[in-house]
Amino acid sequence: RAPPRYSSFGDIGKTSNGSSPAPGTVSECQSPRHQNSRLRRDTLFASFMSFTHLGIVGAGGWGTALALLLHENKFPISLWGHDPREIATIAEKRENVIYLPGVPLPEGFEYTSELDDLANCDLLVFVTPSKAMREVTARLSTVALRSDAVLHSCTKSVERGSGKRMSEIVAEHFPKHVVAALSGPSHAEEVARQAPTAVVIGATDRAVAQRLQQAFRTRFFRAYTNDDVAGVELGGALKN
């Protein structure tokens, strides 16, 4: 079997043979006409690929950090937490004082402890603790989610006892939905403070992988894609 191929947006701007333009030369990629054309293309691509409303399932440090990251790309965000009092405190103070103190949260976030409020999201990012993943996904499975919703596990662990990966647990409860996973050397406090970070998104559906890559891409956060979902998840779980 051929080794898995990682891809990123870093290939944009290379010449036709894969090399970078020679220093001091002006390639077609550098011409104003080409840049304007590429900008129009990228804008159209982003609008076609983009999600419309994101639900963050888990209001801990990692969930809050990813909410901030995705807010960089102007997505509407709903942040769900299981404890109504904690969610109310986060909403009031606009800060996750328990799990991510000292990092202000922007205006415009929606805060909720009701899973029904996530029904209209077309991307659900799962960041619950691994021990709670099965319970939360079981509860969420009773909600009438959008049929096109993508379910994205960002919890780096395996289930104690069964040894199942987090995406496998999600897929058990949502067999008709596309399920992807994110892993890599990343920490909530660093991502929240916009430290340079690189991760891998595992998805067997290439189109979904590209949509997620676009959604998570910022000036400080780079996501690569890989179709080896098990390898992506197990790599992160073993690291932890």
DSSP 101: E
C-alpha distances out from residue 197 to 203, 216, 240, Å: 20, 11, 17
pLDDT (0 to 100) of residue 47: 46
In three-state secondary structure terms, 103 is strand
The per-residue pLDDT for range 137-188, each reduced to its tens digit, is: 999 999 999 999 999 999 999 999 999 999 999 999 999 999 999 999 999 9
pLDDT (0 to 100) of residue 236: 79
Phi, psi of 88 (to 5 degrees): -65, -40
Q: pLDDT at residue 3 above 80? A: no
The per-residue pLDDT for range 212-227, each reduced to its tens digit, is: 999 999 999 999 999 9
Catalytic residue among 14, 93, 131, 239: 239
What element of type H or E holds 91?
A: helix 84-93
Burial state string for 114-138 with b = 16 or more CB within 10 A and e = fewer than 16: ebeebeebbbbbbbbebeebbebbe
At residue 207 the predicted structure's pLDDT band, cuts being 50, 70 and 90, is very high
Q: pLDDT at residue 195 above 80? A: yes
C-alpha distances out from residue 203 to 104, 173, 192, 240, Å: 32, 17, 25, 21
User: Would you say the C-alpha torsion 100, 103, 109, 110 has a positive or negative sign?
Assistant: positive
Write the Ramachandran bin of 180: left for phi over 0, alpha for psi from -120 to 50, otherwise beta.
Answer: beta
- Please give the average per-residue pLDDT across 108-131, as a whole number: 97
- Please give the average per-residue pLDDT across 90-106, as a whole number: 97
pLDDT (0 to 100) of residue 71: 96
pTM (global) more than 0.85? no
pLDDT (0 to 100) of residue 98: 95
Q: Is 239 a catalytic residue?
A: yes
Q: pLDDT at residue 17 above 80? A: no
- Please give the average per-residue pLDDT across 106-124, as a whole number: 97
At residue 40 the predicted structure's pLDDT band, cuts being 50, 70 and 90, is low
Q: pLDDT at residue 27 above 60? A: no
